[in-house]
Each structure stands twice: as C-alpha cells, then as structure tokens.
Amino acid sequence: MTEAGSILFVDDDPNWVELLRLAFGRIGMRNPIQGVADGSEAIRYLRGEGRYADRTAHPLPELMLLDLRLPGMSGFELLEWIRQQPELARLAVVVITGMAAPGDPQCAQELGATGFLLKPFSFDKQVELARQIRANWLPSVRQSAKA
C-alpha cells in the first residue's frame, strides 16, 4: 500500500534514487519513490503501460524529479512531452541535475518545470534537499505529516 505523495525519480544512476530514499527516511518520510532510468521508461510509467499497469504498485506520481542528462531522450524532451499531456497538467516536475549549463534553468522553466535544483554531493546536503522537496512540492505529504 502506498500513501499520498509518491515520487517518480527519472535518473539513469540508481545510486541517486537510493540516496534520495535514504534522505527521505532520515527526515521521517515513508513516501514511495519509484525510480526509472530514462525518458522512454518514464513515459511507460506515466501511461501505466506494461509492468507499470498496476497503479497500486506504481501509482501516478504527485511529483516527478527529473535529471536532464539521460540516455536517449533528454530530460528537456521528456518535460516537453509531459506538458503536452492534458492528464499530466497538474504533475509537479522538478528538474534535479548534477551538471547545469548556463541556460538550463531558464529552458526548464520555459518548458514548464515546477522547480530547478542541483544535486548535492554530501548526504547531509541530500537530507536538506529532501526537506526542501517535502516543504515545497509535496503538500499532501506535508499535511499528513502534521496529522
């Protein structure tokens, strides 16, 4: 069983997904974090196709964390696809990347990103990032944490 505030983390490095799970655990969040490795897999997840058809096991996320540098389809291309899907209009998409080129934040904003963050390189900073994500982009989790 999952709770509100599920997160889909699109990143080709599974270590980042696991670090975020650990950081959320450190701040007491038990939210489900699903990890997918590229844009094509993210689209299958969002459409509920194939192994993602079971929405109990793979709920439609409240928040997507999106790396920009992905194999195949870039994070920008995936973001553009998401914003063309009416059923995903309310999906919060926060770009979280380790290497940002000078125009990346503006481009992400123009394509409809909800936020833009840089990946931290220490676990303490990862925990701070988890707090920031919870406070800014997971209102249902924030509300259930107060109850």
Packed helices 123-137 and 139-146: angle between N→C axes, nearest 10 degrees: 90
pLDDT score, position 84: 97
Residue stretches of the chain with pLDDT short of 50: 1-3, 141-147
Q: What is the pLDDT of residue 60?
A: 93
What domains can be seen in the chain, in order of their start residue? 7-146 (3.40.50.2300)
Q: How would DSSP label each residue in 52-118?
A: G--TTTSPPPSEEEE-S--SSS-HHHHHHHHHT-GGGTT-EEEEEES---TTHHHHHHHTT-SEEEE
Predicted local distance difference test score (pLDDT) of residue 144: 40
Residue 31 has a pLDDT of 77
